Amino acid sequence: MIMGNAIRRGRLAAALPLLAAASCATTPSTDLTGFGRAAGGLQADVGTTFAEANRVARSVEVDRFVRSGTIALSERRFPPAVPPEVTARWRAALGDLARYGNLLATLTATGRGGEQTDAFRQLGVQLTSGTTAADLDPGVSAGFEALAGALVDLRAQSTARDILHRTDPDVRRLLVAMADAVGSSDAEGLRGTAASNWTAALTADQRTYAVAATEKTDARQRQIVADYLAGVDRRDAPLASLADLRSSLLGFADAHTAAAAGSRRPFDEVLKDVNDRVARTEATYRTVEKAGDAK
């Protein structure tokens, strides 16, 4: 399941050049398909990333519960880091962006100007009446509202360039807000929540080591240190996944803006950064899996 994250991000890196190369007025429609496909890939990836965060959170709560000596066992004592309804809303939000991206792919089809405009406006109406971004970060909710308004207000027979110019500020604002909700560091947003749970999990090893050190049990101390360092490695992988999610969202924003401007500027540096992140994450996962197999 973890390796699936890296595979999907590899597909995302392959999809970005399609959008980056787009020129709204004259580029073939296939050049705009990358946005929708990449959003769909992230939609699937979010479920896996959040599930890993929840697994760690539950582990932390189990440790706390056992140490508390409480007799009554109930589900509410083991809350997830990311509640199922929040995960569902994130997936729905990325699904709506994928729908928008799929409409982008039709922008340069000939003889469908009115149909294109109507489809975008219909999506705007659906976003306005839906609850996709409800209870997510306020910035994300505001971003969806602004995008919905921009789509509804599109003029009939709007050209491809008109549509991208009109929606780009709101698409960019939405994607940046989603990136901010993930967190710009391990002290903020979803990344901060995941990091906090890992800190609590590793604290258990620190307490155990303190007891073993007092008793001067050398072999036990070495085992606890090994377990602690393995935990540090396991912590790095999901935190890297969340950081990659944020970077991908910001990459979407830059690619959409480039397409709206009709720019054909090279995205070599952006793609190199994405590929480097994928390589680092894969290396971390391989190390963690080998350590787990050896235990």
Q: What is the pLDDT along the chain (295 residues), one digit of tens a residue?
A: 444 554 444 554 444 444 444 333 444 333 566 677 777 777 877 877 788 778 777 877 787 788 777 888 888 888 887 888 888 888 888 888 888 888 877 775 444 556 778 888 899 988 887 666 556 788 888 888 899 999 988 887 677 778 888 999 999 999 999 999 999 999 999 899 888 888 887 888 888 899 889 998 888 899 889 888 877 877 777 788 888 889 888 988 888 888 788 765 433 444 455 556 556 655 655 665 566 555 5
CA 265 vs. chain centroid, Å, equals 26
Residue 245 structure tokens? 């999610």
Residues 248, 67: Cα–Cα separation, whole Å: 40
Domain limits, the chain:
2-294
173-209 b/e with 16+ CB inside 10 Å = b?
A: bbbbbbbbbbbeebeebbbbbbbebbebbbebbeebb
Cβ atoms of 150 and 196 within 8 Å: the answer is no
Residues 10, 36: Cα–Cα separation, whole Å: 15
